[in-house]
Structure 1
Amino acid sequence: MRLKRRPHAVSDRAWWASQDFWRKCAIFVTAFMAVVLIVLTFHTMDAITSGSGRVPAYAVINYRIDYEFDAGRNMYAPVIGEEAPLFGTLHTEDEARALVDLGKLTVQAKNCMNCHTLLGNGAYYAPDLTKAWLDPGWGNEQSRELLLTMFLTDPVANARTFGTRRRMPDLGITDEEARGVIAFLKWLSAVDTNGFPHGFETLPQGGS
């Protein structure tokens, strides 16, 4: 009669093969990654908060903004210059925030990202708006605010195709909303985007 071999008892298994070991590993890894996620969340919130190192305070719309190559970082970066109030009016931080918020809400309400991109996100039918405030298509620094306002409020009569045959439809943007959108675009141009877009040519600054 052949004797059946007795299976190994659970206690005879290697420690790394036990269910208890892998259960503890799963708990440890889950807890560790939860902590990492919390830390990264707070770090990200700090990095994208207005007034942080990369995202300027809203009152930056009171200053001249350019986009130049930073040899130390080997990338393009926004440069905040001398005082150049938007629409000729100095805005407090709260006033600037209200104006920028109006512009951001208008961009969202008018579904601008159905055609445009912001910070690389959105559609690619029309130009990226990340540095639209600095686009040389607006001629020069003196005419920019007027041309932007005219274009936004009546894009049919003041069509600007920027080298394409694509035209923006009339979205019914009011003068007040246009001022908000322009403030939003100026503020957005001052956000440090780690060199995006690369090699963007800006319009002449300081009346040059």
Structure 2
Amino acid sequence: MANKSVWSDNRFWQRSATWVTGFASVLLIWLTFDTSAQISMGDDTDLKNGVTKRVPGPTVINYKITYEMDAKRGHEVPVIGEKEKFFGRDDYSEDEAGALLHLGKLGSQAKNCMDCHTLLGNGAYYAPDLTKSWLDPAWGPEGSMQSMTGKDTKEEAMAEFLQHPSQYPTHARMMPDLGITAAEAKGLVAFLKHMSSIDTNGFPRNFGKIQGAVHGK
């Protein structure tokens, strides 16, 4: 009687399936714990000690954030620098900063920002991706938005635009007036600044090469 091929042996496939399932389960558990550690938010102590977390603490709004090329990783990453005033202050406590971010997050949900925009990979592409919008030079001192809105700082220009978008047409697809209050606008800008500080592994890809974006041509 001819020897039966291992490839046609049901026991071989049953054992293989058991081993593969077991290995995949262990790998999934490890990835779950690793991911949880990677995405856990830092705190004010980390920032004061120069410890870079993938998701910085809320008080990162007290600091300057830039977007710089990391040659080893092959893409740009957020870099947290020295203290920088945000709406006239650079001493927001964790509670104050956290409350602002919470207000901004609720505002982005209440106003359905993701119906048109993308935030951290979620949403639509009808309007600009907001993941790194804080870093867009258009809002900086050499950009057009501060002079257009008559404001002296990036955060004030962004807040003014959010409250009265119809007064500042910047795209063929104009942002509608959503009735955003001054307090909501401040929270939204804080939310956007914090989001720009998150290390998203280079997402959105080629942000630095997009016309009008950081290092854009």
TM-score (norm 1): 0.79
Seq. identity, %: 54
1:85 maps to 2:95: no
Secondary structure, in 3 states, of the residue corresponding to 1:78? Answer: strand
RMSD: 2.5
Contact 2:159 2:185 (8 Å CA) reproduced? yes
Contact 1:118 1:129 (8 Å CA) reproduced? yes
In the TM superposition, structure 1's runs of 4+ consecutive aligned residues that sit over 6 Å from their partners are none
Secondary structure, in 3 states, of the residue corresponding to 1:80? Answer: strand
Aligned residues: 191
Secondary structure, in 3 states, of the residue corresponding to 1:168? Answer: coil
Query: CA 1:24–1:173 in structure 2 vs 1: closer, same or farther (change >3 Å)?
Result: same
Contact 1:85 1:91 (8 Å CA) reproduced? no
How many Å separate the matches in 2 of 1:139 and 1:55? 23
Secondary structure, in 3 states, of the residue corresponding to 1:99? Answer: helix
State which drifts further: 109-118 or 119-128.
119-128
One-letter amino acid matched to 1:60: V
How many Å separate the matches in 2 of 1:25 and 1:69? 44
Equivalent residue, structure 2, for 1:119: 120
Alignment of 1:15-54 (within 5 A): 17-51=8-42, 53-54=53-54
Q: Which of 1 and 2 has greater Rg?
A: 1
Query: CA 1:72–1:26 in structure 2 vs 1: closer, same or farther (change >3 Å)?
Result: closer
Query: CA 1:189–1:160 in structure 2 vs 1: closer, same or farther (change >3 Å)?
Result: farther
One-letter amino acid matched to 1:24: R
The structural deviation recorded for 1:83 is 0.8
Instruction: Encode CA deviations 1:104-138: one digit per residue, 9 max, x unaligned.
Output: 22112211111111234321111111111122222
One-letter amino acid matched to 1:109: A
One-letter amino acid matched to 2:65: I
Instruction: Encode CA deviations 1:51-99: one digit per residue, 9 max, x unaligned.
Output: 2632212111110111122334332121211111322232122322221
The structural deviation recorded for 1:37 is 1.0
The structural deviation recorded for 1:13 is 4.7
Alignment of 1:185-196 (within 5 A): 185-196=192-203
One-letter amino acid matched to 1:104: K
How many Å separate the matches in 1 of 2:95 and 2:85? 15
Equivalent residue, structure 2, for 1:71: 71
Question: RCO greater where, 1 or 2, for CA within 8 Å and sep 6 or more?
Answer: 1
How many Å separate the matches in 2 of 1:202 and 1:190? 14
TM-score (norm 2): 0.76
Equivalent residue, structure 2, for 1:110: 111
Secondary structure, in 3 states, of the residue corresponding to 1:87? Answer: coil
The structural deviation recorded for 1:167 is 0.8
How many Å separate the matches in 1 of 2:105 and 2:40? 15
How many Å separate the matches in 2 of 1:35 and 1:176? 47
Contact 1:102 1:177 (8 Å CA) reproduced? yes
The structural deviation recorded for 1:195 is 2.8
Structure 1's unaligned 5+ residue stretches are 1-7, 204-208
Instruction: Encode CA deviations 1:11-68: one digit per residue, 9 max, x unaligned.
Output: x855664433332322222222111111111111211221263221211111011112
How many Å separate the matches in 2 of 1:112 and 1:120? 13
